[in-house]
Copies of this chain bind each other. A is one copy, B any other.
Amino acid sequence: MQITATGYTIYFEEGRFSLLKAFLSEQVFSSIFILCDTNTKKECLPIFLKKIPKLKNTAIITIPAGEKHKNLHSVEMIWGFLTQHQADKQSLLLSLGGGVVSDIGGFAAATYKRGMSVVHIPTTLLAMADASVGGKNGINFKTYKNHIGTITQPLAVFIYKPFLKTLPPRELKNGFAEILKAALIADASLCKKIYAEKKASYTSHIVRAVSIKNAIVQSDLLEHHARKVLNVGHTVGHAIESYFMYKKKYLLHGEAVAIGICVELCLGKNKGITQAKTAMDAVLWIKKQYTLLRFSKKEIECLIELMQQDKKNKGGRYCFSLLKKTGQALIDIPATDSEIRNAFLLYNNIAHG
């Protein structure tokens, strides 16, 4: 099973990593490096190397796990390691990890000697369904999410679902937020299916989510227009994630995006853009699955402040991607501070009303 993307292929492995093995034997690389974080080194690397014994003497680069370490310091560490081990432009970096690993690894590879190849092997649901598709990479800068990066496509992506067994339930829910988002912006029937499931089946819709994202990315590789629909829930979501990044209450990306979707649905509803039923169906379902935090007035002002650095903004004006109805989103919707404030207040009411 495979999905063709722009200039590369997303492969779904069936158990023995035969697709990756074939890929590696067809290509000539002057050297190969595996990038892990401290979690995937322990949980996934032994499985991976057992499946592909040929790679067992490959140099391993390990970065500390977690969003907190998605910074320039980790990238410098990777550049230093590659330099020391004489990686060249014909070398390959295999990123084995979640979205943080593929984002950092993708950025390090895109900029090392002006570009070496990277192949992503996502190990979390979030990375499988979202982060490893589309070529966006990046790191956080100061308190801003993915503020520095490039859009550079990988050489290939290999998705191996059994890695999901290494994850705690919280991580599956984390990734599912992006699957729900994909359904909300482009597939009303998938939404209906998700809402109807008695017990949420977090790992069933990966292929569909990848297909949706891939089709959107292919229509607008560099995010000049259509691709922005993928940002539904993310303007608010990224601000929330940034806000809590250095706090005790540490939120995962998907947990922040789930809340972001709810707040942005409230914004869309208030502005008369989002159908009331669309907003209500989604928020009620999310409320059952995720912890919807309540935000104080002070917190709301901080979040609005953080949104001023959102990458979609134009000339100091917020630009949202908002749902019109289930399965369809609109882009470049401006909003004022006061509209965003009111959206948070409506969200607070619905979430805790």
Residue positions of A touching B, CB distance < 8 A: 30-31, 72, 76, 79-80, 83, 86, 88-90, 107, 110-115, 136, 138, 141-142, 144, 146-151, 222-223, 308-309, 311-316
Contacts and interface: CB of A to CB of B under 8 A. Distances in A.
Nearest to A107: B111
A154 to B, nearest CB: 15
A76 B72 CA distance: 9
A47 to B, nearest CB: 29
Given A79-B141, A114-B136, A136-B114, A309 B86 contact: yes
A315 B90 contact: yes
Contact of A316 (B86, B112, B136, B144): B86
Contacts of A90: 314-315
Nearest to A148: B111
Given A88-B315, A222-B115, A315-B90, A309 B110 contact: no
A80 B142 contact: yes
B151 A115 contact: yes
B113 A111 contact: no
Contact of A313 (B83, B88, B309): B88
Contact of A88 (B110, B136, B314): B314
Q: How many copies does the complex hold?
A: 2
Contacts of A309: 83, 86
Main secondary structure of the interface of A (DSSP, over half): loop
Given A80-B142, A115-B222, 9 more contacts: A72-B76, A83-B142, A83-B144, A89-B312, A90-B315, A114-B150, A114-B223, A114-B311, A115-B151
A311 to B, nearest CB: 5
A187 to B, nearest CB: 26
A111 B149 contact: yes
Given A141-B79, A314-B30, A111 B111 contact: yes
Given A88-B315, A315-B30, A138 B114 contact: yes
Given A150-B110, A316-B30, A86 B311 contact: no
A250 to B, nearest CB: 23
A313 B141 CA distance: 32
A198 to B, nearest CB: 40
A310 to B, nearest CB: 8
B315 A115 contact: no
A319 to B, nearest CB: 9
A141 B110 CA distance: 15
B314 A150 contact: no
14 contacts: A30-B314, A80-B142, A83-B141, A83-B142, A83-B144, A83-B147, A83-B309, A86-B309, A88-B311, A88-B315, A88-B316, A111-B148, A114-B150, A114-B223
Contacts of A148: 79, 111-113
A220 to B, nearest CB: 13
